[in-house]
Structure 1
Amino acid sequence: MKKRPVTSQQVAELAGVSQSAVSRCFSPKASIAPKTKAKVLAAAKQLGYRPNAIARSLITRSSRTIAVVMSQLDNPFYAQMLEYASRRFQQHGYHLLLFMSSDEQETTSVMSDILQSQADGILMLAATLSSSLAKECVARGIPVVMINRTVAFEGVSQVASDNYHGGYWVGCHLVESGCERIAFLAGLADSSTSSQRRQGFLDALAEHGAACWAEAIGDYDFATAQAATRALFSRDVYPDAVFAANDHMAIAVIDTLKAELGLQVPQDVAVVGFDNIPVAAWPSYQLTTVQQPIEAMVDEATALLLGQIASGQVTGERKVLPVTPIVRASAVSGT
């Protein structure tokens, strides 16, 4: 016969406190005297009590969950961001529900699952959100914060790094380093990050009287970036520098150049990425890159989302955080 679960009332009776005190003890950020909390925890341990999060959510009308929508996990940059976001929200008593969405159409279908989950808010980690879907979220009063992506709709809060000036720095650095045949390896065709980095890069080249020598699309994917590298270097005259729109692709470029094409980095080809993932600093890569402030971006997104949840007001704030150039051996230092 299945044993009936211990109730909060039983814990209250054993601890000699009110049932509301038991509830406060297991509610994040709730105020409760240390002595009272100690008595409740001791009684809960003795009885084997576990709070029912579902029941509490029905009373408080809060699930204490945040829906996170992501497009990929193979890129270490997003794995880092997800880990830090999980820790930050846990500090505030929230847990993350992960939803994967590879494109805009899939995001639309995933949204119905998110709405059924009764999540208190939505954090979009580098997943594309259409303007129409953004408007629907606002109309429903669902707080949404996009991080590392932007959308042409003012009603949704967005946090990103300064992709334009990061790309601008790369263009200046490569030209000033003496590179002449500079190629750009783009991310997803419709991604705001890739287009902003590309525009800054092209503007920097133009100001130096140069132009992009060749372009290819890597879709922010390792295998696709490898194939794009093979295509770029299939000609008799090939690039003397490659700017990949993120480190994940830049690593694919370096591996392909060294292992398949017999070219040396940076002696034959300079390579620059964007993100500064941990592998970028490995001795075998020493990748010159542009560092995104992961923790600061997550902190801003967390504050925006929790602020909207607390106030019940959906707002459309935009935060753009500065990036930091990281010069390593994969691209010679500028003069």
Structure 2
Amino acid sequence: MTEQGGPKKQVNSFDVARLAGVSRSAVSRTFTDGASVSDETRKKVIKAARELGYRVNVLARSLHKQKSDLVGVVAADLDNPFRAEQIDLLSQGLLERGFRPILLRGDPSVAVADHIGSLLQYSVAGVIVTSDTPPEEICRECLEHGVPLVVVNKRDPGAPVDRVVTDFDSGGKLAFEHLLACGCRKLAVVTPEKSSYSINGRALSFERAANDAGIPVIRIGWGTQSYEGGLLASAYVARVRGEIEGLFCTADYLALGVMDGLRFQHGVRVPEDIQLIGYDDIVQASWKSYDMTTIVQSRRDLSETTLDLLMQRLENPDLPQQVTVCGVSLVQRKTTFGAT
């Protein structure tokens, strides 16, 4: 007998079977999707389970079946509105498809390979990575264990895993063409000091388009991809404002800091003194205090494509490697004057 105040005995399937007056296998079938069990038996088992407070041990079941309904999601920069919305959409999408997400926050002190390795211990059905590009070795380990891996907006890791990327080549070119159409001939790009694969790709495509047109570009690599990084970068932009007519910020979160720094710390008007365009179209970009022209990459399209690739891989593990490119577009607001 358990002493008062002591630990409560964990209820198991034998206890439920005993109270319901059915076999243990009937209890197992009741809590197994698609298994055959009569309505009468199901009602007895559910009633007994509720009375006893029984919960299915999903992890134990997954170890027995060598498979679970858990999907690992490795993500970094969760303070970034783009990333937060992306993870929310991925989580919702997994739940709608009958899977349950496990979120591991990418941290500079923990290698992405270590995160993926820990997820493999839980017999996850699949892994989605939105943080750093995973090393080739851990990608191949996932393949050997039959665990689908989808990487989002990351470079090719060298192993045949599925990838989803947005068309940053077109995005950088769109940004250049819009600033050019707005009459800007002195251009600069603000990007984090240490850029990710996709962020650096945006800056490079902007610079290539400008170079092809014979227009030089000042690259301002400053701080991190954050609001605070933008505030710091704004000080340099203000110092060389006479050399800049049009400014491309490689992420909206960064651009918000640049705008506020220019306007409130350095007395530089946007767009009267410097026209500005961002990238991502986070919710804050459309707020009246910013009303920012930006390149749109749809978090919903990106998330749905990621989940589609994962489901296809689960359904058919022998599919060839898939790389899907999601398109981008431009939305003009009030940080640029529009075509002249």
TM-score, normalising length from structure 2? 0.86
- Say whether the 8 Å CA contact 2:175–2:206 is kept in structure 1: yes
Specify the alignment match of 2:202 in structure 1: 197
Specify the alignment match of 1:334 in structure 2: 339
- Say whether the 8 Å CA contact 2:192–2:224 is kept in structure 1: yes
1:142 aligns with 2:147: yes
Equivalent of 2:34 in 30, 34, 42: 30
> 1: distance between equivalents of 2:23 and 2:62?
20
> 2: distance between equivalents of 1:230 and 1:24?
65
Letter in 1 for 2:31: F
- TM-aligned CA deviation for residue 33 of structure 1: 7.5
Specify the alignment match of 1:99 in structure 2: 104
- Say whether the 8 Å CA contact 2:11–2:54 is kept in structure 1: yes
- TM-aligned CA deviation for residue 15 of structure 1: 5.4
- Say whether the 8 Å CA contact 1:233–1:239 is kept in structure 2: no
Cα deviations across residues 147-206 of structure 1 (Å, max 9, x unaligned)? 122325251111111111011100000011011221111246452212321232123323
Alignment CA distance shift 1:280-1:14 (3 Å): same
Cα deviations across residues 27-74 of structure 1 (Å, max 9, x unaligned)? 4x5366794655543443233222121222222222322221112111
Specify the alignment match of 2:81 in structure 1: 76
Equivalent of 1:247 in 233, 237, 252: 252
> 1: distance between equivalents of 2:207 and 2:223?
18
Alignment CA distance shift 1:105-1:149 (3 Å): same
> 2: distance between equivalents of 1:236 and 1:258?
13
Specify the alignment match of 2:221 in structure 1: 216
Letter in 2 for 1:264: R
1:164 aligns with 2:176: no
- Say whether the 8 Å CA contact 2:193–2:221 is kept in structure 1: no
Cα deviations across residues 118-162 of structure 1 (Å, max 9, x unaligned)? 323211013232344434433444321011223252511111111
1:127 aligns with 2:129: no
Q: Which ranges of structure 1 fall in alignment gaps of 5 or more residues?
A: none
Letter in 2 for 1:146: V
Larger Rg: 2
Specify the alignment match of 2:233 in structure 1: 228
Percent identity of equivalent pairs: 28
Letter in 2 for 1:144: L
Alignment CA distance shift 1:38-1:268 (3 Å): farther
Three-state SS of the structure 2 residue aligned to 1:299 is helix
> 2: distance between equivalents of 1:241 and 1:24?
65
Specify the alignment match of 1:155 in structure 2: 160
Alignment CA distance shift 1:181-1:23 (3 Å): farther
> 2: distance between equivalents of 1:69 and 1:57?
21
Specify the alignment match of 1:294 in structure 2: 299
- TM-aligned CA deviation for residue 325 of structure 1: 1.2
What's the Cα RMSD here?
2.7
> 2: distance between equivalents of 1:54 and 1:85?
22
Q: Which moved more, 1:287-296 or 1:200-209?
A: 200-209
Three-state SS of the structure 1 residue aligned to 2:248 is strand
Alignment CA distance shift 1:50-1:282 (3 Å): same
Q: Which ranges of structure 2 fall in alignment gaps of 5 or more residues?
A: none
Equivalent of 1:86 in 68, 91, 98: 91
Number of residue pairs matched? Answer: 334
Alignment CA distance shift 1:277-1:50 (3 Å): same
- TM-aligned CA deviation for residue 313 of structure 1: 4.7
- Say whether the 8 Å CA contact 2:13–2:24 is kept in structure 1: yes
Letter in 2 for 1:30: G
> 1: distance between equivalents of 2:37 and 2:279?
49
Three-state SS of the structure 2 residue aligned to 1:268 is coil
